[in-house]
């Protein structure tokens, strides 16, 4: 009896082993048949092996962030990459926890956005020391001390200059200004440098007040703060608001509308679908905004990261070109303007091919067919 049971067990085990072997052989054969070989593509990607990318952004809760993340994800997936995105919604602890957790996972490269503190430098150095490729956006400038890391940003000096120069021209160099700004972020520091210079060069510009807070509900907090501020300053005492972030501008625009203070004009920075809707709305005080397409920013950062993974040369710094968008141009359009059709108003909007190599086009063509 025991011998019969033993023989049966051996027979079952052998049968199961053969079944597994057959499955594994079938799986291997299937994988091999799905393999591709690309010509004129860097060796890293020539056999169809993609990459696993993590995009980690400190700030969030706004349309600009959503567009940025979408741009990176769509560009990566068009190359056959796996892309995961995360936003900490302004929570520094969550931001650094996300980097630490991702370090222990099998990501090949990282895009780190708005890492403004010294701890970000330490975190990125740790990523690089562990063989990860890294591109950063609007982050601590000390990251330049880490070899191989590319620091990208919008051309913040151009953004501030475009908006402020328009303000100066509209008011002939004489205006009482409310300045919406928050310190501590590299792009805000660069924009503030331009603002300080413009004020120094135009004695007719007077700063009435300045304030700002970066939070998950920045636009709401700004709306409340501007509403309270308007109660302190009678009509005619404020000519314009310079908003260094679109979350500031959209909150200010809502407060001005509710207060019936449409004599105040807003000059902002950044753009999103929500911003465009506000600028085009009836009675909006938001006259101009200087911006770079956030979706393009995400895509360009992803391309730079792909070049790093391919072993190609990449710059240490790269600034994305800015454009000025006017309320009048938007309202003259034959249909409502959004982030998709904004290129009908702003030439070249959303169509940047910077860092898009020929081999990337090969991969995109292949994965577009799948």
* The pLDDT of residue 355 is above 60: yes
* The pLDDT of residue 12 is above 50: no
Burial-class residue 220 by CB neighbours within 10 Å (0-12, 13-18, 19+).
Answer: middle
Question: pLDDT per residue over 157-215, tens digit each?
Answer: 999 999 999 999 999 999 999 999 999 888 999 999 999 999 999 999 999 999 998 88
- What CA–CA distance (Å, rounded) separates 249 from 25? 61
Per the DSSP assignment, residues forming a β-bridge with 151 are 136, 317
Mean pLDDT computed over 355-360: 98
Q: Quick check: helix, strand or coil at residue 195?
A: helix
Rg of the chain in Å (alpha carbons): 26
Question: pLDDT per residue over 288-305, tens digit each?
Answer: 999 999 999 999 999 999
* The pLDDT of residue 282 is above 70: yes
- Res 10: pLDDT: 38
* The pLDDT of residue 20 is above 60: no
Strands (E), the chain: 52-57, 82-87, 109-113, 133-137, 150-154, 175-180, 205-211, 240-243, 265-269, 286-291, 317-320, 323-326
More confident residue, 151 or 31: 151
- Res 206: pLDDT: 98
Per the DSSP assignment, residues forming a β-bridge with 242 are 179, 267
Closest CA to 60 of 257, 294, 283: 294
Strands of the sheet containing 175-180, edge to edge, are 205-211, 175-180, 240-243, 265-269, 286-291, 323-326
Are 123 and 99 in contact, with CB atoms under 8 Å apart? yes
Name the token pair of 229: 């501020």
- What CA–CA distance (Å, rounded) separates 328 from 350? 21
Question: pLDDT per residue over 69-98, tens digit each?
Answer: 999 999 999 999 999 999 999 899 999 999
Mean pLDDT computed over 321-326: 95
Q: Which pTM value belongs to this model?
A: 0.81
265-269 and 133-137 strand pairing: unpaired
- What CA–CA distance (Å, rounded) separates 69 from 67? 6
Contact partners, residue 294, CB within 8 Å, separation at least 6: 64, 65, 67, 68, 71, 270, 271, 272
* The pLDDT of residue 23 is above 50: no
- What CA–CA distance (Å, rounded) separates 235 from 356? 51
């Amino acid at each position: 009896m025991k011998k019969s049971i033993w023989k049966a067990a051996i027979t079952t085990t052998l049968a199961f082993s053969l079944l597994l072997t057959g499955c594994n052989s079938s799986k291997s054969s299937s994988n091999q048949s799905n393999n591709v070989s690309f010509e004129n593509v860097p060796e890293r990607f020539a056999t169809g092996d993609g990459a696993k990318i993590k995009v980690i952004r400190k700030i969030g809760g706004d349309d600009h962030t959503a567009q940025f993340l979408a741009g990176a994800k769509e560009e990566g997936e068009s190359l056959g990459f796996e892309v995961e995105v995360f936003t900490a919604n302004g929570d520094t602890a969550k931001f650094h926890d996300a980097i630490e957790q991702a370090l222990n996972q099998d990501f090949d490269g990282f895009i780190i956005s708005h890492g403004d503190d010294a701890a970000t430098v330490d975190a990125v150095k740790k990523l690089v020391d562990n063989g990860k490729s890294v591109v950063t956006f609007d982050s601590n400038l000390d990251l330049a001390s880490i070899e191989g890391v590319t620091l990208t940003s919008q051309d913040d000096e151009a953004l501030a200059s475009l908006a402020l120069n328009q303000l100066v021209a509209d008011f002939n160099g004489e205006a009482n200004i409310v300045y919406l700004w928050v310190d501590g972020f590299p792009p805000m520091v660069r924009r503030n440098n331009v603002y300080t210079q413009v004020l120094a060069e135009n004695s007719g510009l007077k700063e009435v007040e300045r304030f700002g807070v970066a939070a998950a509900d920045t636009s709401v907090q700004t709306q409340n703060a501007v509403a309270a501020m308007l109660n302190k300053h009678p009509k005619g005492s404020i000519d314009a608001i310079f908003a260094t972030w679109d979350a500031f501008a959209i909150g200010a625009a809502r407060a001005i509308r509710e207060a019936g203070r449409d004599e105040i004009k807003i000059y902002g920075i950044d753009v999103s679908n929500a911003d465009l809707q506000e600028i085009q709305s009836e009675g909006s005080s938001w006259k101009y905004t200087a911006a770079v397409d956030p979706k393009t920013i995400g895509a360009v950062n992803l391309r730079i990261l792909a070049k790093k993974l391919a072993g190609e040369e990449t710059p240490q710094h790269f600034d994305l070109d800015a454009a000025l968008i006017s309320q009048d141009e938007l309202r003259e359009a034959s249909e409502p303007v959004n982030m998709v059709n904004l290129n009908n108003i702003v030439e070249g909007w959303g169509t940047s091919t910077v860092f898009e190599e020929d081999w990337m086009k090969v991969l995109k063509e292949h994965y577009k067919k799948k």
